[in-house]
Amino acid sequence: MLIDTYGRVATDLRVSLTDRCNLRCTYCMPEEGLQWLAKPDLLTDDEIVRLIGLAVTRLGITEVRFTGGEPLLRPGLVGIVERVAALDPRPQMSLTTNGIGLKRTATALKAAGLDRVNVSLDTLRPDVFKTLTRRDRHKDVIEGLEAARAADLTPVKVNSVLMPGLNENEAPDLLAWAVENDYELRFIEQMPLDAQHGWKRDGMVTAGDILTSLRTRFELTEEGSEERGSAPAERWVVDGGPHRVGVIASVTRPFCSACDRTRLTADGQVRTCLFAREETDLRAALRSEATDEEIARIWRLAMWGKKAGAGLDDPTFVQPDRPMSAIGG
């Protein structure tokens, strides 16, 4: 079991498979990209599967989310999914992706055992997409979403970040589109995880702003804390149902007290929080022939030291050194 001193138990493992990405989103990385991890620093497919296996069989993990960077860029992705699906007990598996490449991989991922996907899409307008991501790939993301739905990687969830002066007024249009296409839309407040360290609390589009905008067109009924559980998204029923919309308010309405996550970076570091500045090295233990029990002990100890919260409300908050693309969203 992965328990901390505040009594929280981690059952949800986020695994970053690569730090690379084929977009250059303005809230994540600079236009020129980043210096990628060297291949020897990355965990191998076997190392990833071994760590997930011991997390599931020894540490109580029941859900695994594959992230990046962009996880579809990982050559061995389908094989990793297939091997994790064969674990006993079998964890629930999902994937967070920008959707580029999903059109050609959705069927194979479903056959390998993937349960569902989260796809990032911040705008319905191709020109705004190009401005936000610095790439002209809007059509590919839409087709990837359609392929995921056709492959039954459901519920297909769409993650959207609203940025001042770019897409901040698109919330109602995005929700109408999601309802029409049977996607579950979730808005995410912009977080201080950009490589440029340009994030500023003042002027950000908040959860309150988003809900006010949505209510100009839709009737929203709050789902309630019992339904939410430890999920990061607060959800609302749209126009009486059955569709729902979520808001992940990491900055203005933090949910740290119910957090059930542990994170593994592409180079084998345990992070207890997306905003943590400390990491615990599992790669070194793996490559020094440590036993599964020794690695599990290191992981338990790392989680035991998890802080009470992310500290975003602290005026002395210091942004993590590694951007979101390197630690997994």
Half-sphere CA count of 287, side-chain side, radius 13 A? 11
> β-pairing, 220-222 with 184-188?
unpaired
Beta bridge partners of 158: 119, 185
In tens digits, the chain (329 residues) has pLDDT values of 999 999 999 999 999 999 998 888 877 776 666 778 889 999 999 999 999 999 999 999 999 999 998 999 999 999 999 999 999 999 999 999 999 999 999 999 999 999 999 999 999 999 999 999 999 999 999 999 999 999 999 999 999 999 998 999 999 999 999 999 999 999 998 866 544 444 455 668 899 999 999 999 999 999 876 666 667 889 999 999 999 999 998 888 878 888 999 999 999 999 998 888 889 999 999 999 999 999 999 999 999 999 987 655 555 555 556 555 556 55
**Nearest Cα residue to 156 out of 118, 189, 191:** 118
The greatest distance separating any two alpha carbons of the chain, rounded to the nearest whole angstrom, comes to 59
Beta bridge partners of 184: 157
